[in-house]
Structure 1
Amino acid sequence: MAHIERGTYMPFYSSSGDSVTVEPFFMDKYPVTNADFLAFVKENPEWRKSNVKSIFAEEGYLKHWQGDLNLGPKAEKIRSSPVTNVSWFAARAYAKWKGKRLPTLDEWEYVASANQQKPLASRDKEFVQKILDWYSKPNPDTMPNVGQKKPNYHGVYDMHGLIWEWVQNFNTVFISGASRSDQGELKQFYCAAGSSAATDADKENYAAFLRYSLRGSLEADFSVGNLGFRLAKDIE
């Protein structure tokens, strides 16, 4: 795990309009892999494909695996790639099994704000453009292995460019038609026309908006093909 030092960042949406201070914590350097999750379901049969309760995971749960304990014909290729198609409930259960937890939204966003050189790179046009370029690409048939690119300032890999990730409190920001008028900065990005006309200064906000919008559309039992997770831990 990487030791994340105390820091402050400005979230995309803040009801108070204030910056947020993130206290020191540990975060996994890599997302959880298929091999990692396979070890989990071997010891916790209630989280296998055929056993998981529908209240905790929808039908697409681990659909890219061939069976309960079988990664399929691409097993060797995907063992070290991030596990996806896992619900928030399953991610939380895995975290508990490991004696850890999911990172909070603020912890994740703070670490994700770093490029390779500095902890806060949200105004770095090149950095933000790379994030937006990734968001515009279709998902690959097979996810690449974790840790293939260089780590960011904190020593954490794959915060961008590989998968989306669950956070502990993903449902604390709700985005809906009824709430648009109450969301301040969120409002300007709702229409496709508005987002396509975003200025360079808006790009960082738009990248963050996409993440908040995704989280606002999720439910805890969802299993999505490009959505995985990594773990965090308090400093004792």
Structure 2
Amino acid sequence: MPFSSSTDDSTTVESFYMDTHQVTNAEFLEFVEENEKWRRSQVKSVFAGEDYLRHWKGVLELGNINPNAPVTNVTWFAARAYAKWKGKRLPTLYEWEYIASASASKPLASRDKVFAQQILDWYSRPNPDQMPSVGEGEPNYHGIYDMHGLIWEWVQDFNTVFISGESRADQGELKQFYCAAGSSAATDSDKENYAAFLRYAFRGSLEADFSVGNLGFRCAKDKE
């Protein structure tokens, strides 16, 4: 689905396509079947640790995992490789945040307190034992599913986010927001939205070879 926009504080986002749902276990299984170097048994340690795809029963077997649920326990390296295999890429931080700022009825709802509280309520819930399928909820204004409420997602430039040190001598406006966590990429509207700022804090804690049980991804593509 194509998008072209500016955020509500004038950060320009060029036209792009975004997948309507996250990559599923079944889709990622097809990828590793065709790309042996990304199998759990063969992936290089520099690209993935021991938790990579650990929820799958075997190297090429999902077991009782829902095949239509979003794949998790994938590293940024693996997500980027999958996207390239599909002729796509990971969305940028600004692209993801722009689409994520839409509620079901508004294209920019980041300052809507009800919408923000719905996101915070999800952040406070534990992960389900069995992840539901993608696309089961209500799509947002752009027709995109599960930007919130299912999993966290990798973005291409997640490493533009930084976490400040714990030193009391640290200075700067970022100290006031979240337990000394900050983001060099956060917009003014994001800093007014605690849910958005939690995402920046989470991204700032990641490294490219990390695998997390509630972290997956979706793909994007430039509009030619």
TM-score (norm 1): 0.86
Post-superposition offset of 1:58:
1.1
Kept in 2: contact 1:8–1:22 (CA 8 A) = yes
**Corresponding residue to 1:36 among 27, 37, 55:** 27
**Corresponding residue to 1:84 among 72, 79, 83:** 72
Kept in 1: contact 2:111–2:193 (CA 8 A) = no
**Residue identity opposite 2:100 in structure 1:** A
Q: Counterpart in 1 of 2:185?
A: none
Q: Counterpart in 2 of 1:99?
A: 87
Alignment deviations for residues 194-218 of structure 1 (CA, whole Å, 9 cap, x no partner): xxxxxxx999521111100111000
Q: Counterpart in 2 of 1:113?
A: 101
Is 1:143 paired with 2:131? yes
Q: Counterpart in 1 of 2:199?
A: 211
Is 1:126 paired with 2:117? no
Note the residue ranges of structure 1 that are not aligned, 5 or more in a row: 11-17, 193-200
Q: What is the CA–CA distance in structure 2 between the aligned matches of 1:202 and 1:81, rounded to whole Å?
A: 29
**Residue identity opposite 1:145 in structure 2:** S
1:175-186 mapped onto 2 (5 Å cutoff): 175-177=163-165, 181=170, 184=173, 186=174
Note the residue ranges of structure 2 that are not aligned, 5 or more in a row: 181-188
Kept in 1: contact 2:36–2:42 (CA 8 A) = yes
What's the RMSD between the two structures over aligned residues?
A: 2.0
For 1:215, what is the secondary structure of its paired residue? helix
Alignment deviations for residues 53-88 of structure 1 (CA, whole Å, 9 cap, x no partner): 11001110000001110001x14xx10000000000
Q: What is the CA–CA distance in structure 2 between the aligned matches of 1:28 and 1:105, rounded to whole Å?
A: 15
Q: What is the CA–CA distance in structure 1 between the aligned matches of 2:171 and 2:96, rounded to whole Å?
A: 24
1:157-236 mapped onto 2 (5 Å cutoff): 157-177=145-165, 181=170, 184=173, 186-191=174-179, 205-236=193-224
**Residue identity opposite 2:13 in structure 1:** V
For 1:22, what is the secondary structure of its paired residue? strand
Kept in 2: contact 1:82–1:228 (CA 8 A) = yes
Q: Counterpart in 2 of 1:15?
A: none
Kept in 2: contact 1:86–1:224 (CA 8 A) = yes
Q: What is the CA–CA distance in structure 2 between the aligned matches of 1:202 and 1:166, rounded to whole Å?
A: 18
Kept in 1: contact 2:22–2:134 (CA 8 A) = yes
Count of residues paired in the alignment: 215
Post-superposition offset of 1:52:
0.6
Structure 1 stretches of at least 4 aligned residues deviating more than 3 Å after TM superposition? 178-183, 201-204
Q: What is the CA–CA distance in structure 2 between the aligned matches of 1:88 and 1:136, rounded to whole Å?
A: 24
